[in-house]
Structure 1
């Protein structure tokens, strides 16, 4: 049996897909995501070729934000699967609602007791595995929702068995549930996989994807991102925050700041009324950009050097 979402159920009208990498870059910019030519081209080809986009890079380089921006650009829901150690197919694909199945079974037994009827075991079993008791997890939801953007976040945290499971799903855009049948996407979801490279992902999975390595932005682009996401940030403050973050990334820190921390720091400085970045305002707001005590202690000792032009 081939099962798909009925027209109008689990689907939303999509805005037109950008017709070129340049059009996609413009559409992404409208969401606040600034894509360079390489990134826009990779994302455009991923959508045109129905191939997953495999994004690797340091934490905070905008991998997850890219999926969010693509969903907004396409006016499609973002369906996120957060990977972790020990994740399995049931957590990613589907499960059965056992409490509701049990209530249903008790209701059948109660009704039979009242009527004095004998339950048909096969009919009861079939009714227990009706779609109304099916719990769709992220991958199944993405296959049944057209269009959609499926974000498989931090695939490097999952194990080899889960990678092998993904190979079939990402290639066929379909899954088979024994009690229900095959469920195939009417329109394949746009798939973005991210990895912080805590381990190497197998070549078999990478071969089925288009690959993109994301770097931290240079200072000019980081300033542009600040102005795009925080329109009211003063020019001097944006430049000084971006310059300081660039220096922090070159420091031996446990957790170098990503773009999200840059935005948080600038926003925090705005909220305390800072017009520029000085040692006092920087010291009071370091918690927005540094997330470890050791990093904060190290930076506190060299704030004057950090803020020097």
Structure 2
């Protein structure tokens, strides 16, 4: 597919895009800014892979705000099929129309059948809405949770940015949406889909960047408290946990502490608020057993 999404032409460089994202409280490194810029400039989907909570979904949301475009989200799950992602017919409205026509004495069966499959009875699901909305940002979230069959269907849609509705014909995007595909790598996504996209792996941020993210997203957080939360989160990611915390959990933890009026994190407060950052009982028990003072220690 050639051509560029017209909303991207105003962004001149990766550095400029990083600055625009920063204005909306999303801090990204040079690698991510470059991958995102190239996806816009080349009109290619951006495939973001990484552990949960590193900011993949948030990037798509922020990008939509930067471009002034609506975010259209397709949340993937096991069993998702084409009709749930693309379109469906509004059967209750079709039935009402049929009954109204019968009550009015309409005898032209062919005409009535044609009216039943008019565009007004078509329910646009996320993929079709994205093709028909200009501009738009399409977020295909957690594609690794969908089945192989849906992945193949998605590849076809992203290759042509067009879909065929047998009763109506082909619907093609006038301007293809900006597409962000995310995966938590619960399974490997097929190479064919990855080849269609520009790929970027999102790492957990460094300590310094995580402090900056917390203070940028939660300006009321004291610098010392942001540092304690970030340092503890970094250590938790190095522990043997079922579900290490992502940046999303660090932000939740910091927000909870600010809501409690905490300016410095101590072991007692950490124990009371651990549920904001660790979501498995086994992980909480392991961390408490290891000593919260050690988790919060400086250095």
Give the TM-score taking structure 1 as reference length.
0.92
**Counterparts of residues 104-183 of structure 1 (less than 5 Å):** 104-112=97-105, 119-183=107-171
* Residue 216, structure 1, aligned to residue 204, structure 2: yes
* Residue 28, structure 1, aligned to residue 21, structure 2: yes
Among 281, 285, 288, which residue is 1:293 paired with? 281
Deviations 1:71-101 (A, max 9, x none): 0100100000011111110001000000000
Among 47, 64, 74, which residue is 1:54 paired with? 47
Q: Is the 8 A contact 2:8 2:40 kept in 1?
A: no
* Residue 202, structure 1, aligned to residue 190, structure 2: yes
Q: Is the 8 A contact 1:17 1:74 kept in 2?
A: no
SS in 1 for 2:208: helix
> What count of residue pairs does the alignment treat as equivalent?
292
* Residue 244, structure 1, aligned to residue 236, structure 2: no
Q: Give, in whole Å, the separation in 2 of the partners of 1:279 and 1:163.
A: 46
SS in 1 for 2:104: helix
The aligned residue for residue 93 of structure 2 is 100
* Residue 83, structure 1, aligned to residue 76, structure 2: yes
Structure 1 segments (4+ residues) deviating >3 Å: 13-17
Q: Give, in whole Å, the separation in 2 of the partners of 1:53 and 1:224.
A: 25
Q: Give, in whole Å, the separation in 1 of the partners of 2:265 and 2:57.
A: 29
Q: Is the 8 A contact 2:73 2:126 kept in 1?
A: yes
Deviates more, 1:251-260 or 1:134-143: 251-260
Deviations 1:95-114 (A, max 9, x none): 000000000000000000xx
Task: Structure 2: state its 5+ residue gaps.
Answer: 1-5
* Residue 40, structure 1, aligned to residue 37, structure 2: no
- How far is 1:172 from its partner? 0.7
* Residue 274, structure 1, aligned to residue 262, structure 2: yes
The aligned residue for residue 294 of structure 2 is 305
Q: Give the CA RMSD over aligned residues.
A: 1.2
Q: Give, in whole Å, the separation in 2 of the partners of 1:83 and 1:232.
A: 35
Q: Is the 8 A contact 1:79 1:149 kept in 2?
A: yes
**Counterparts of residues 1-16 of structure 1 (less than 5 Å):** none
Q: Give, in whole Å, the separation in 1 of the partners of 2:267 and 2:280.
A: 19
**Counterparts of residues 176-191 of structure 1 (less than 5 Å):** 176-191=164-179
Task: Structure 1: state its 5+ residue gaps.
Answer: 1-12
The aligned residue for residue 65 of structure 2 is 72
- How far is 1:14 from its partner? 5.4
Q: Is the 8 A contact 2:9 2:41 kept in 1?
A: no
